[in-house]
Structure 1
Amino acid sequence: MKRIGILCVGNDSPGINAAIRSAVVKSLDLNIEIIGIKDGFNGLLNDELDVLLRPNVSNILHQGGTILGTSLFIPEGEKLKKVKEKFEQYGLTSLILLGGRLAAKAALNLMKENIPSIIIPATIDNDLSFTDFSIGFFTAVEQVKKALDILHSTAEAHHRVMIVETMGKPSGWIATIGGLAGGADYIITSVENFDLKKVIEIIKKRYEGKKRFSLIVVESGVPIPENIKEECGCTTTNNSAEIIGKYIEKNLKDELGIEWRYTNLGYLQRGGSPTAMDRIIATQMAAHSIEMVKSGKNYHAVGVKGFSITEIPYSETIINYRPVDYYLKELTKLFY
């Protein structure tokens, strides 16, 4: 009998539980034993493993987070050799890694020690080069859209500029798609150089017309030119979104009386019940990964192209960033 170990590597994302559930159900259907490894590779090293059966994954489809826990730890050197020892000790035939770029790095390390594995992409950033979509992205975008819908009314009531900070650096996917869906008036990401003077012009034009408010989406950690920081009197303690807000206020408050407010969505983008799409792609990819193990295929990353499942052999390219699609980024400019 084949025995698979399943674990999470890196940050959590909504839909991981749906993938775990699918992997367990498919494994049992194919007469494969599946072992849940708690808290990433730490759980394997600390002997925190349990056989997973249907009762263990009942009623978790809708739950955010991960029932297995996760860790940012990636084994290297002596720790990697210890992982191999544990892999052999427990009679595992393959590992399934749920995660983003950290999981991809871990998979490449495992391959060097001839430890078979398969990656299922799970990251809200949606920045993996080998798949169109990753588990958790759709839920994160939905949270950004909901936040913009809510902030729209208070921004309009007080005639304010709302700065909304998202995760996703440096790929730009969450800010771009969430901003488009939520009707943002301007979207700033790390994908391209942005012009704050243009932002000022757009806001000013809106205030001089009937739209006396603006919603600006800013990807966390976008680089700000030094001259802008100096002009606003900002230091390293100020994050990018705050600097942009101060710049807007400095240039428009005296002329138009514009005030700004700042909202960092932070971990709200990671939490909550996964959307339908995240549940579907998680279920598809996890079931397919079990079929791959059954057929003896390892050292591959599972992905999706549209609704089709893909298999990508491991190479150094699986850790590459994938920036937001150029057309989607250009589409945002139609609404400026």
Structure 2
Amino acid sequence: MAERKRLGILTSGGDCAGLNAAIRAAAKRAQAYGYEVYGIRAGTVGLMHRPVDAVRLDPNDFDGTLLRKGGTVLGSNNSNDPFHYVDSDGNRLDRAPEVAQGYHELGLDALIGIGGDGSMAILRRLAGIGGWNFVGVPKTIDNDVGATEVSIGYASAVNVATNALDNLQPTAASHNRVMVLEVMGRDAGHIALAAGISGGADVILIPEIPYSIDAVAQQIEAIRKSGRNFALVVVAEAVQTESGEPVRQQHTGGGTTYGGIGHYIGGRIAEATGAEVRVTVLGHVQRGGMPVSRDRLMASVFGVHAVDLVAQGKYDRMVAWQNRQVVDVPLQDAIDQFQAVERDSSLVRTARGLGISFGDTDPVL
């Protein structure tokens, strides 16, 4: 009797809603091919352990409960690059060979990695070092992975941000205030743009479009003159100050992330307009929670197709969504084609058509 093939699955990078739906779909599809499926814990960190930190996945356990669950049951990490691993003494080590060997220690025939562009780049390098058969699945709330129109987690993050605007609008109107909402978006403004349109924002600030506080103030003054007593402003966390300085926060353990631009923008608006301003920072609220139907759907589609690629022996590929159907693309193409917001995109034009300001004095119409 032929030995059953072993398929590994891991989640890497920041968590998001829909990861468990992708794990579930891959495991259930793998069952049809007769594969043994192992979930690797904590991303590439699990492959460093000896024995490898992994758990046998039984598709019979993957009922609808997992489909609805946020986060990732396998755990993840977004700070332990195996090529530049920092140990407890602060030393930087290259632990990539250990991770690469972990694939073989577990006896895997193929590995599916669910991650963003950074994770994909690392996993592809590891696959080259270790001789892995690897397939990628795109996930990121920022929706900036190239070669795919959508990534797992984006729809749920936009939904959270839109709900926040829905809740901020009545209190803004009740107290004659300008409400500033800071949303995630490490390098791209997709969440701010989509939520701003859906949530009726008056101003959307994203890193792809330079802004001035004077232009933002003009928009707010125009709203006042029209007779409305409130305004909603959405800003992506990667937006910089007017002088071009990123706003970052220091975290326990020494790491830094974007955060705080909302308070900067709020203060500058108050100075320029005299308005009463309040700032809300959503932060990691956008990552957690139950995935919306769109993320469950895309995660299921991606998970099934990833296993089909393994069965077909098509490796070094990433599953993607293009023109209303699932496809697969060369993994390097997805890594190379970073997907920022284009200044003349349909959503930007839609926002301008609705009278939303991007704070720019020379808009592309």
**TM-score above 0.5:** yes
Counterpart of 2:273 (choices 237, 247, 252) is 252
Counterpart of 1:65 (choices 51, 65, 71) is 71
2:58 match:
53
Aligned length: 325
User: Shift of residue 247 of structure 1?
Assistant: 1.4
Aligned residue for 1:315, secondary structure, equals helix
Counterpart of 2:237 (choices 187, 204, 220) is 220
- Which one is further off, 106-115 or 122-131? 106-115
User: Shift of residue 93 of structure 1?
Assistant: 1.0
Counterpart of 1:104 (choices 94, 98, 120) is 120
The answer to whether the Cα contact below 8 Å between 2:212 and 2:242 also exists between their aligned partners in 1 is no
Counterpart of 2:110 (choices 77, 94, 118) is 94
- Which one is further off, 197-206 or 153-162? 197-206
Correspondence list, 1:111-260, <5 A = 111-113=127-129, 114-226=131-243, 239-253=260-274, 258-260=275-277
> Whole-Å Cα distance in 2 between the matches of residues 50 and 183 of structure 1?
45
2:250 match:
none
The answer to whether the Cα contact below 8 Å between 1:303 and 1:309 also exists between their aligned partners in 2 is yes
User: Shift of residue 317 of structure 1?
Assistant: 5.2
The answer to whether the Cα contact below 8 Å between 2:318 and 2:334 also exists between their aligned partners in 1 is no
1:290 match:
307
> Whole-Å Cα distance in 1 between the matches of residues 119 and 238 of structure 2?
23
> Whole-Å Cα distance in 1 between the matches of residues 203 and 323 of structure 2?
28
Q: Identify unmatched segments of 5+ residues in structure 1.
A: 230-236
1:234 match:
none
Change (3 A) 1:40 1:15: same
The answer to whether the Cα contact below 8 Å between 1:170 and 1:189 also exists between their aligned partners in 2 is no
Counterpart of 2:12 (choices 9, 12, 22) is 9
User: Shift of residue 36 of structure 1?
Assistant: 0.6
Alpha-carbon RMSD: 1.9
> Whole-Å Cα distance in 2 between the matches of residues 287 and 183 of structure 1?
36
> Whole-Å Cα distance in 2 between the matches of residues 51 and 238 of structure 1?
38
Change (3 A) 1:50 1:203: same
> Whole-Å Cα distance in 2 between the matches of residues 18 and 306 of structure 1?
22
Change (3 A) 1:228 1:206: farther
- Map Cα deviations across residues 282-322 of structure 1 (whole Å, 9 max, x no partner): 00011011011011111101111143111111326515421
Higher normalized helix content (fraction of residues): 1
Give the TM-score, by structure 1 length: 0.92
Counterpart of 1:32 (choices 35, 38, 41) is 35
> Whole-Å Cα distance in 2 between the matches of residues 129 and 23 of structure 1?
22
- Map Cα deviations across residues 24-67 of structure 1 (whole Å, 9 max, x no partner): 10001111111010111111222211110124322200000011
> Whole-Å Cα distance in 1 between the matches of residues 128 and 219 of structure 2?
52
Q: Which amino acid aligns with 1:53?
A: D
The answer to whether the Cα contact below 8 Å between 2:214 and 2:272 also exists between their aligned partners in 1 is no
> Whole-Å Cα distance in 1 between the matches of residues 245 and 292 of structure 2?
39
The answer to whether the Cα contact below 8 Å between 1:9 and 1:102 also exists between their aligned partners in 2 is no
Counterpart of 1:74 (choices 77, 81, 88) is 81
User: Shift of residue 75 of structure 1?
Assistant: 2.4
- Large movers: runs of 4+ above 6 Å: none
Change (3 A) 1:202 1:78: closer
> Whole-Å Cα distance in 2 between the matches of residues 306 and 278 of structure 1?
17
1:232 match:
none
Change (3 A) 1:218 1:246: same
The answer to whether the Cα contact below 8 Å between 1:62 and 1:273 also exists between their aligned partners in 2 is yes
> Whole-Å Cα distance in 1 between the matches of residues 277 and 121 of structure 2?
40
The answer to whether the Cα contact below 8 Å between 2:41 and 2:75 also exists between their aligned partners in 1 is yes
Identical positions, percent: 31
User: Shift of residue 102 of structure 1?
Assistant: 2.4
> Whole-Å Cα distance in 1 between the matches of residues 244 and 74 of structure 2?
47
> Whole-Å Cα distance in 2 between the matches of residues 267 and 207 of structure 1?
33
- Map Cα deviations across residues 228-254 of structure 1 (whole Å, 9 max, x no partner): 99xxxxxxx99322121111111221x
Correspondence list, 1:320-335, <5 A = 320-325=337-342, 326-334=345-353, 335=355
User: Shift of residue 210 of structure 1?
Assistant: 1.7
- Which one is further off, 298-307 or 274-283? 298-307
- Map Cα deviations across residues 76-103 of structure 1 (whole Å, 9 max, x no partner): 2842211222211221011111111222
Give the TM-score, by structure 2 length: 0.85
> Whole-Å Cα distance in 1 between the matches of residues 259 and 139 of structure 2?
30
Aligned residue for 2:289, secondary structure, equals coil
- Which one is further off, 121-130 or 110-119? 110-119
Change (3 A) 1:160 1:94: same
> Whole-Å Cα distance in 1 between the matches of residues 145 and 157 of structure 2?
16
Change (3 A) 1:249 1:238: farther
